Amino acid sequence: MKSWPAACVLLLSTVTKWIKDIEARDFTAKDIVHLHPSTTPHPGSFKCFTCQEARDNYECNRWAPDLYCPEETRYCYTFHVMDSWGNSLSVSKRCASLHECLFTGCAPLANKGQQVCSSCCEGNICNLWVPQNESNAIFASSSPLRSSSYRPTTTILTNNVILFMINLWTFTRD
């Protein structure tokens, strides 16, 4: 019986000596990259909340698939349809290209008393919220737009594109 505590002390002293013999160093970012190589599909990849005609923002974000956006996209797009009291009727979110994000804002749905707002943002899952008015129905980009084909649009052009999107949405719903 007395040999058991003696064996534990001997084992503990051996393990302690072995640990001291191991070279100690800090764990670096290089170690992390080596042990956990990137699992992103391409450099600079990101994710957006993604849904099609969800009942509201909660339902959209709750069931959004956890997928990376395609390489040709750079932004997260949100399209929000509301009734005359501002209650959500439909929320659609997806990855988008620069061209798809040039037209953001809000517009009324003709003869329905409804309003639609669209917005775009840049960054990983940046489209958490839905646009509800002109102050948050914007194109939020953290980097300057360097595309040679980019030309600022006028409010008239923006409203025409939004009206086109509204008509397309209405047509597909009927």
Looking at the whole model, is its pTM more than 0.75? Answer: no
Tell me which H or E stretch contains 114: strand 114-121
Band of the pLDDT at 142, cuts 50, 70, 90? confident
State pLDDT tens for residues 59-75.
999 999 988 999 999 99
Does residue 31 carry a pLDDT above 90?
no
Q: What residue type is assigned to position 149 of the chain?
A: S
**C-alpha of 53 from chain center:** 17
3-class secondary-structure state, position 88: strand
Instruction: Report the share of the chain in percent with pLDDT over 70.
Output: 59
Percent of the chain with pLDDT over 90: 48
User: Taking the domains of the chain in order of start, what are their residue ranges?
Assistant: 51-143+150-173
Check if the beta carbon of residue 121 is closer than 8 Å to that of residue 151. Answer: no
> Is residue 87 predicted with pLDDT exceeding 50?
yes
For residue 152, the one-letter residue type is: P
Name every residue whose Cβ is closer than 8 Å to that of residue 106 and which is 6 or more positions away in sequence: 115, 116, 117, 118, 131, 133, 134, 137, 162
pLDDT of residue 43: 78
- CB 92 within 8 Å of CB 48: no
